[in-house]
Amino acid sequence: FGMLLLVALIYALSVISGLFHLEETKGKWIVPFAFLCVVFYLLGDQTARATALREQILYLKDHAKTLHPGGVPEEVVEKILHGGGSTEGGVLSKLSFKGKKGFQIVIAKCYQCHSLDGSKKVGPSFAGLWNKMEKVVTKGKERTVKVDAGYIKKSILTPSADVVKGFPPAMPPQNLNDKEIQNVIEFLKDVQKLSKEEQKELDSKAKQ
């Protein structure tokens, strides 16, 4: 709407210059004037967007307890700051907000022994791990367990309790808090949704 007003204004000034026989000078000022109008319009539009963004963030901060008992979730603020979209391309854009956090933890603490694309390492791969019925050895006895949130948390904090069959009990306990463990769980859920090619791409990114 604002751009239409600018066009109308420029046209009106052009008509007025014609009425007052200013054709000789019209061509000299009409182009730079139009350019300046467009520049000022774009600057004003960006300023308005920035102001609206600040107001949204301030509103979230002021009403955090009302909107969410534990405060405003990080992913909500992230979506506002990035306009609801992801700033990353490729397979990383397929990961959830918490999944990306979990990916960073996996790179730092897990990737050396666990692949993301099904290839074999010291420990079982994370590809296809979530919700899998896994054979483990518990106190010398073999049993089958479902890889759910409880299993993942137990495997992180006390990995020797349930050792996946066919793999050595080589994993040491990891010092992660509940929030970090939940991020890892969300990452495993995200990996489960990826195609084989996307899992390979993710594994390659973990190597970088």
Per-residue model confidence as pLDDT tens digits over 19-71 = 445 455 444 555 555 556 666 666 666 666 667 767 766 666 565 555 555 55
Asked if 133 and 177 sit in the same domain, the reply is yes
Asked if 37 and 104 sit in the same domain, the reply is no
- Between 11 and 102, name the one with better pLDDT: 102
Residue 198: C-alpha distances to residues 101, 181, 203 (Å): 18, 23, 9
Asked if 113 and 71 sit in the same domain, the reply is no
**14, 17, 21, 24 alpha-carbon torsion, rounded to 10°:** -70
Asked if 72 and 105 sit in the same domain, the reply is no
Residues 6 or more apart from 186 whose CB is under 8 A from it? 96, 98, 99, 101, 102
Q: What pTM was estimated for this model as a whole?
A: 0.62
- Between 8 and 183, name the one with better pLDDT: 183
Asked if 117 and 54 sit in the same domain, the reply is no
Asked if 116 and 72 sit in the same domain, the reply is no
- Domain count of the fold of the chain: 2
Residues 6 or more apart from 19 whose CB is under 8 A from it? none
Asked if 118 and 162 sit in the same domain, the reply is yes
Asked if 64 and 125 sit in the same domain, the reply is no
Domain extent at residue 151? 90-207
Q: pLDDT for 126-151, tens place per residue?
A: 999 999 999 999 999 999 999 999 99
